[in-house]
Amino acid sequence: MTNLPTELEALSEEIDQQTAPQLRQVLREFVNSLQRQHASQRSLKVGDVASDFALKDQNQRVIHLYDQLKKGPIVLVFFRGGWCPFCNLTLQAWRHALPEIEFQGAQLLAVTPEAGEHVRRTVQKNKLDFSILQDKGSEVARLFKVSIALSDYLAAFYRSLGLNLLIRHQDTIARLPMPATYVIDTNCTIRYAFVAEDYTQRADISEVIEVLKQQDDKTKSIYTPAYAVA
Protein backbone atom coordinates (compact mmCIF):
# COMPACT_ATOMS: atom_id res chain seq x y z
CA MET A 1 0.00 0.00 0.00
CA THR A 2 1.31 3.45 -0.89
CA ASN A 3 2.13 6.06 1.78
CA LEU A 4 -0.43 8.60 0.62
CA PRO A 5 0.20 11.33 3.27
CA THR A 6 3.91 11.42 2.39
CA GLU A 7 3.20 11.48 -1.35
CA LEU A 8 0.63 14.27 -0.95
CA GLU A 9 3.09 16.36 1.04
CA ALA A 10 5.79 15.91 -1.60
CA LEU A 11 3.30 16.81 -4.37
CA SER A 12 2.22 19.92 -2.49
CA GLU A 13 5.82 21.09 -2.15
CA GLU A 14 6.49 20.42 -5.82
CA ILE A 15 3.41 22.33 -6.97
CA ASP A 16 4.19 25.26 -4.66
CA GLN A 17 7.61 25.59 -6.28
CA GLN A 18 6.04 25.70 -9.74
CA THR A 19 3.10 27.99 -8.92
CA ALA A 20 3.11 31.76 -9.20
CA PRO A 21 2.89 33.58 -5.83
CA GLN A 22 -0.43 35.24 -6.78
CA LEU A 23 -2.01 31.86 -7.54
CA ARG A 24 -0.71 30.37 -4.28
CA GLN A 25 -2.16 33.33 -2.38
CA VAL A 26 -5.62 32.95 -3.90
CA LEU A 27 -5.78 29.23 -3.17
CA ARG A 28 -4.39 29.68 0.33
CA GLU A 29 -7.01 32.31 1.12
CA PHE A 30 -9.73 29.97 -0.15
CA VAL A 31 -8.58 27.26 2.26
CA ASN A 32 -8.20 29.73 5.11
CA SER A 33 -11.73 31.01 4.52
CA LEU A 34 -13.18 27.50 4.76
CA GLN A 35 -11.19 26.83 7.91
CA ARG A 36 -12.42 30.05 9.52
CA GLN A 37 -15.97 28.94 8.77
CA HIS A 38 -15.29 25.44 10.17
CA ALA A 39 -16.88 24.14 6.98
CA SER A 40 -15.97 20.51 7.61
CA GLN A 41 -17.79 20.48 10.95
CA ARG A 42 -21.14 20.83 9.16
CA SER A 43 -20.68 17.58 7.23
CA LEU A 44 -22.09 14.18 8.20
CA LYS A 45 -20.23 12.54 11.07
CA VAL A 46 -19.66 9.13 12.62
CA GLY A 47 -22.96 7.76 13.88
CA ASP A 48 -25.08 9.62 11.30
CA VAL A 49 -27.24 7.60 8.94
CA ALA A 50 -26.41 7.98 5.24
CA SER A 51 -29.40 8.60 3.00
CA ASP A 52 -29.86 6.54 -0.14
CA PHE A 53 -28.86 7.93 -3.51
CA ALA A 54 -28.62 6.80 -7.12
CA LEU A 55 -25.88 8.00 -9.50
CA LYS A 56 -24.54 6.83 -12.84
CA ASP A 57 -21.00 5.48 -13.02
CA GLN A 58 -18.48 5.75 -15.86
CA ASN A 59 -20.30 2.94 -17.70
CA GLN A 60 -23.70 4.62 -17.33
CA ARG A 61 -24.85 2.03 -14.81
CA VAL A 62 -27.13 3.40 -12.11
CA ILE A 63 -25.61 2.69 -8.70
CA HIS A 64 -27.95 2.77 -5.69
CA LEU A 65 -26.17 3.14 -2.35
CA TYR A 66 -28.61 1.00 -0.38
CA ASP A 67 -28.51 -1.79 -2.96
CA GLN A 68 -24.73 -1.89 -2.72
CA LEU A 69 -24.86 -1.90 1.07
CA LYS A 70 -26.75 -5.20 0.92
CA LYS A 71 -23.45 -6.70 -0.30
CA GLY A 72 -21.24 -5.20 2.40
CA PRO A 73 -19.80 -1.92 3.74
CA ILE A 74 -19.06 0.96 1.37
CA VAL A 75 -15.99 3.19 1.25
CA LEU A 76 -17.28 6.43 -0.26
CA VAL A 77 -14.69 8.93 -1.54
CA PHE A 78 -15.51 12.44 -2.78
CA PHE A 79 -13.00 14.09 -5.14
CA ARG A 80 -12.93 17.31 -7.15
CA GLY A 81 -12.03 16.05 -10.61
CA GLY A 82 -9.44 14.70 -12.99
CA TRP A 83 -7.90 18.18 -13.35
CA CYS A 84 -6.77 18.09 -9.69
CA PRO A 85 -3.32 16.49 -9.23
CA PHE A 86 -4.08 15.71 -5.57
CA CYS A 87 -7.23 13.88 -6.62
CA ASN A 88 -5.40 11.84 -9.25
CA LEU A 89 -2.70 10.82 -6.79
CA THR A 90 -5.38 9.84 -4.27
CA LEU A 91 -7.40 7.84 -6.79
CA GLN A 92 -4.28 5.90 -7.75
CA ALA A 93 -3.64 5.14 -4.08
CA TRP A 94 -7.20 3.86 -3.67
CA ARG A 95 -6.71 1.69 -6.76
CA HIS A 96 -3.70 0.05 -5.11
CA ALA A 97 -5.71 -0.44 -1.90
CA LEU A 98 -8.72 -1.96 -3.68
CA PRO A 99 -7.74 -5.65 -3.17
CA GLU A 100 -7.47 -5.10 0.59
CA ILE A 101 -10.79 -3.23 0.67
CA GLU A 102 -12.51 -6.04 -1.18
CA PHE A 103 -10.83 -8.65 1.03
CA GLN A 104 -12.53 -6.95 3.98
CA GLY A 105 -15.88 -7.48 2.25
CA ALA A 106 -16.30 -3.84 1.24
CA GLN A 107 -16.72 -1.90 -1.98
CA LEU A 108 -15.12 1.35 -3.09
CA LEU A 109 -17.18 4.11 -4.72
CA ALA A 110 -15.79 7.51 -5.72
CA VAL A 111 -17.99 10.56 -6.32
CA THR A 112 -17.16 13.60 -8.47
CA PRO A 113 -19.18 16.57 -9.76
CA GLU A 114 -17.59 16.09 -13.19
CA ALA A 115 -19.70 14.73 -16.01
CA GLY A 116 -19.48 12.58 -19.10
CA GLU A 117 -16.21 12.49 -20.99
CA HIS A 118 -14.28 14.10 -18.13
CA VAL A 119 -15.10 11.13 -15.89
CA ARG A 120 -14.09 8.62 -18.55
CA ARG A 121 -10.78 10.42 -19.05
CA THR A 122 -10.10 10.31 -15.31
CA VAL A 123 -10.80 6.56 -15.28
CA GLN A 124 -8.50 5.93 -18.25
CA LYS A 125 -5.70 8.21 -17.03
CA ASN A 126 -5.56 6.57 -13.61
CA LYS A 127 -6.42 3.03 -14.80
CA LEU A 128 -9.27 2.82 -12.31
CA ASP A 129 -11.21 -0.40 -11.87
CA PHE A 130 -13.84 0.79 -9.42
CA SER A 131 -16.98 2.87 -9.90
CA ILE A 132 -16.67 6.62 -10.41
CA LEU A 133 -20.07 8.20 -9.82
CA GLN A 134 -21.19 11.35 -11.61
CA ASP A 135 -22.77 13.65 -9.03
CA LYS A 136 -24.81 15.99 -11.21
CA GLY A 137 -25.56 19.22 -9.42
CA SER A 138 -23.44 17.95 -6.52
CA GLU A 139 -26.64 16.48 -5.07
CA VAL A 140 -24.90 13.73 -3.11
CA ALA A 141 -22.07 16.02 -1.98
CA ARG A 142 -24.73 18.39 -0.67
CA LEU A 143 -26.54 15.46 0.95
CA PHE A 144 -23.35 14.66 2.89
CA LYS A 145 -22.78 18.41 3.42
CA VAL A 146 -19.32 18.42 1.86
CA SER A 147 -20.15 20.64 -1.14
CA ILE A 148 -18.77 24.19 -1.26
CA ALA A 149 -20.27 26.90 -3.48
CA LEU A 150 -17.45 29.03 -4.88
CA SER A 151 -17.53 32.81 -4.83
CA ASP A 152 -17.92 34.58 -8.18
CA TYR A 153 -14.32 35.75 -7.85
CA LEU A 154 -12.96 32.24 -7.30
CA ALA A 155 -15.10 30.79 -10.11
CA ALA A 156 -13.75 33.48 -12.45
CA PHE A 157 -10.25 32.76 -11.20
CA TYR A 158 -10.61 29.09 -12.16
CA ARG A 159 -11.96 30.13 -15.56
CA SER A 160 -8.85 32.24 -16.08
CA LEU A 161 -6.89 29.01 -15.68
CA GLY A 162 -9.01 27.32 -18.37
CA LEU A 163 -11.26 25.51 -15.90
CA ASN A 164 -14.93 26.39 -16.41
CA LEU A 165 -16.62 24.42 -13.65
CA LEU A 166 -20.14 25.24 -14.89
CA ILE A 167 -19.44 23.51 -18.20
CA ARG A 168 -17.30 20.75 -16.73
CA HIS A 169 -19.98 19.89 -14.16
CA GLN A 170 -23.00 20.73 -16.32
CA ASP A 171 -24.22 22.79 -13.37
CA THR A 172 -25.67 26.26 -12.82
CA ILE A 173 -23.48 26.96 -9.77
CA ALA A 174 -19.71 26.62 -9.48
CA ARG A 175 -19.09 24.27 -6.57
CA LEU A 176 -16.59 21.69 -5.44
CA PRO A 177 -16.60 19.00 -2.79
CA MET A 178 -14.20 19.17 0.11
CA PRO A 179 -11.92 16.11 0.24
CA ALA A 180 -14.06 13.55 2.07
CA THR A 181 -14.04 9.83 2.79
CA TYR A 182 -16.71 7.81 4.57
CA VAL A 183 -17.10 4.19 5.63
CA ILE A 184 -20.77 3.22 5.71
CA ASP A 185 -21.80 -0.07 7.30
CA THR A 186 -24.59 -2.39 6.16
CA ASN A 187 -27.02 -0.63 8.53
CA CYS A 188 -26.42 2.60 6.56
CA THR A 189 -24.55 4.09 9.54
CA ILE A 190 -21.34 6.07 9.08
CA ARG A 191 -18.46 4.36 10.91
CA TYR A 192 -15.63 6.59 9.67
CA ALA A 193 -15.62 10.17 8.44
CA PHE A 194 -12.81 12.32 7.10
CA VAL A 195 -13.54 15.80 5.72
CA ALA A 196 -10.91 18.51 5.17
CA GLU A 197 -11.15 22.16 4.20
CA ASP A 198 -7.63 21.92 2.77
CA TYR A 199 -7.77 20.43 -0.75
CA THR A 200 -4.22 19.02 -0.36
CA GLN A 201 -5.29 16.72 2.50
CA ARG A 202 -6.86 13.26 2.15
CA ALA A 203 -7.93 10.40 4.41
CA ASP A 204 -5.28 7.96 5.57
CA ILE A 205 -6.16 4.78 3.70
CA SER A 206 -4.61 2.60 6.41
CA GLU A 207 -7.11 4.07 8.90
CA VAL A 208 -9.96 3.17 6.56
CA ILE A 209 -8.70 -0.41 6.29
CA GLU A 210 -8.53 -0.68 10.08
CA VAL A 211 -12.15 0.47 10.36
CA LEU A 212 -13.20 -2.15 7.82
CA LYS A 213 -11.37 -4.83 9.80
CA GLN A 214 -13.49 -3.94 12.81
CA GLN A 215 -16.71 -4.71 10.94
CA ASP A 216 -18.45 -8.01 11.64
CA ASP A 217 -16.74 -10.95 9.99
CA LYS A 218 -20.05 -12.05 8.53
CA THR A 219 -19.92 -9.17 6.02
CA LYS A 220 -16.76 -10.63 4.50
CA SER A 221 -18.68 -13.54 3.03
CA ILE A 222 -21.30 -11.34 1.39
CA TYR A 223 -19.18 -9.53 -1.19
CA THR A 224 -16.82 -11.64 -3.33
CA PRO A 225 -13.76 -9.68 -4.59
CA ALA A 226 -13.50 -9.43 -8.36
CA TYR A 227 -10.09 -11.07 -8.31
CA ALA A 228 -11.14 -14.09 -6.24
CA VAL A 229 -10.69 -17.55 -7.73
CA ALA A 230 -13.85 -19.64 -7.70
The Cβ-side half-sphere exposure at 43, using a 13 Å CA radius, reads 27
Averaged over 89-98, what is the pLDDT? 97
pLDDT band at 216 (very low <50, low <70, confident <90, very high): low
CATH label, 4-214, candidates 3.20.20.140, 3.40.30.10, 2.40.180.10, 3.40.190.10 = 3.40.30.10
Task: Render pLDDT for 10-61 as a digit per residue (tens, 0 to 9).
Answer: 999 999 999 899 889 999 999 999 999 999 999 999 999 999 999 999 999 9
Averaged over 82-95, what is the pLDDT? 97
Q: Where are the beta strands (DSSP E) in the chain?
A: 54-56, 62-64, 74-78, 107-112, 131-134, 147-149, 175-177, 180-184, 190-195
Please report the pLDDT score of residue 53 as a whole number.
98
Count of C-beta atoms within a 10 Å radius of residue 48: 16
